[in-house]
Amino acid sequence: MDAILVVNAGSSSVKFQIFGIGEAGALRRVIKGKIDGIGTQPRLAAEAKDGSSLIDVTYASETIPDVPAAIATVAAWLRETQSFDLVAVGHRVVHGGPTYDRPVVIDKAVLANLEQYVSLAPLHQPNNLAPIRTLLNRHPDWLQVGCFDTAFHHGHSAVADHFAIPEHFYAEGVRRYGFHGLSYEYVAQRLREIAPTVAAGRVIVAHLGSGASMCALANGRSVESTMGFTALDGIPMGTRPGQIDAGVLLYLLMEKGMAPTAVQDLLYRESGLKGLSGISNDVRELQSNPDPRARLALDHFAYRVGLNAGMLAAALGGLDAFVFTAGIGENSPVMRARIAEKLTWLGVVPDPAANAEGKSVISRPESRVVLLVVPTDEELMIAQHTLTLLSKPSRARMGSESLAG
C-alpha cells in the first residue's frame, strides 16, 4: 500500500503518523506514534488504527541522543516491521516567513531559506528542520513537503499585518505572521462539514494547548490572529508569556543586564503558566493544586483569552461562534467553563451540562454565539497537502524552485 509519513518534530520528541492512500486518493490513518525523552530516556511507542499497541520500547539515552537519531530509529522500525510503500513525507514547519504562503516540496535551497527563520521560532524551527535535513541526506529521492503554520494567515490585510514601526522593517519581513495555521485550517475545513452555516460566518477559534493562540475566521479565512512576528505574542502559554510590554524587555536588557540569550530563555521556557504559578506549565496539575499561585495562573489565562476574544470580535465586526480546540480546549471542561464566563457579554449562554459531558455544542439554544468543541488534526492536514503535491509533482517542484530564490 502506498503511504505518506507525517512528521512533527519537537525539541525532545518526534511525533509521526502513517496515512495509507486508498482509492481515489482517500487517506486512512494506519499508524500513530511518538518517540519522546530524546537524549534522556528515549521511548518509542506506536499504535495501530484500532488503538492496539505496535511497539513500546525504552532505549538507553546515548542510543538516541538527538532528533536525527530519533528519525533513524523510527525509519528503521517502520522498514523492519511494516510493509508500506512510502511515497512522500510531510513535515510541520512552524515558520515560513514572508515567502512561503502554501505547502512546498523541499529541496536543499528551500531548506537553506527556512533556516533563516530559526531565531524567530527557536523552540520549533531547528527541530522541524532536523528530520528534513536528515532525510535529504539519506534519501534524496524521497518527496518531502513542508507545511507551514504561518501559511494560513497570509491573506491578512496590510493593516492587520503591520507593526507601527518604519516601513522598511516590514519590507525586510518584520510583520505579524500568526501561527497554528495548520490547526486553524483543519478546523475551518471541519466546520464546513459539520456546521456550514457557522463556517460561513464570523468565528473565533481558540487553539489552547501548551502553545496557545486564537484566530478570527470570516467565511473560513483568517483575518486576524493573536500571535505575531514570533510564537511569543498573544495569550499566555505553558512556558511563554503572551503579550508583554516591549519596555519590559528593554528593562531586562539595559537595567538588569541580562544577556539576550537569557532573555530568550526566560520568554520561551520560564514564563507563561510555569512562570506565573512557579509550579507547573501543565493545566491539569494546576487545576488540582490548591496553591493560590496555581489559581492565579489559571485565572490569568482565562482573563487574557477573554480579552483577546474581544479584540478578535472587533476585527470581525461581531461574532457568530467560538470554537475550542487543541489539548486544553478539547479536554478541560473546567477551563472551557472559565473562559465561557468571560464571553457572556458577547451573547454566549453556556450549557454547563453539555460542557461537562464533552459534547461538541456546549452553548444553550438561546445563545446568540454558538460554543463548539472541535478536535483538531494537524497531521491529517499535512497528509492532505502532501498528497496534493504528490499528485502534481511537476507543479510542486516548479513551485519549490521558484520560491527558493
Q: Which residues are catalytic?
A: 149
Rounded (5°) CA angle 276-282-288? 90
Distance CA 379, CA 39 (A): 25
- Listing from the earlier edge strand, what are the strands of the sheet with 143-148? 53-58, 43-48, 27-36, 13-21, 2-9, 85-93, 143-148, 104-105
Strands 321-325 and 202-208: parallel
Distance CA 114, CA 145 (A): 13
Closest CA to 188 of 205, 212, 163: 205
DSSP secondary structure letter of residue 350: B
Tell me the torsion sign for CA atoms 311, 317, 318, 323. Answer: negative
For residue 219, CA distances in Å to 169, 195, 313 come to 31, 12, 14
State whether residue 143 is helix, strand or coil.
strand
CB atoms closer than 10 angstroms to residue 132: 24
